[in-house]
Amino acid sequence: MAEQDVPKDFFELMQKMWNPMGFPMPGMIAPTMNVEDLQKKIAELKAVETWLTMNTGMLQMTIKTLEMQKSGLESLQSAGKAAADSMKKTPK
């Protein structure tokens, strides 16, 4: 029987569980002890968070705009259909 890919080391097991694609993830097992590096990483992550928040707001606004357009089109279509129906019912 072929030997399965079983990690021999606990840290290797944890790495495979948390990062199945195998990309390097510094600081997951052994945290960085340099305060400047941590401050830089925090600032970078806050910048990403701000960017994502801004994009989320733009996405929500786009969705609301499309919903309003859909509502308007549905109203116009139903008004047009009602007008057409009333024209068919009136005697000439």
pLDDT in tens, 40-84: 999 999 999 999 999 999 999 999 999 999 999 999 999 999 888
Q: Which two tokens stand for residue 27?
A: 């600081």
Query: Of all helices (H) and strands (E), which one includes residue 66?
Result: helix 35-89
Please compute Rg for the chain using Cα positions: 29
- How far is Cα 55 from Cα 45, in angstroms, rounded to an integer? 15
pTM: 0.52
Q: In the structure, what pLDDT confidence band is assigned to residue 7 with cuts at 50, 70 and 90?
A: low
- How far is Cα 91 from Cα 88, in angstroms, rounded to an integer? 8
Could you tell me if 28 and 12 are in contact, meaning their C-beta atoms sit under 8 angstroms apart? no
pLDDT of 10-31, one tens digit each?
A: 767 766 766 666 666 555 555 6
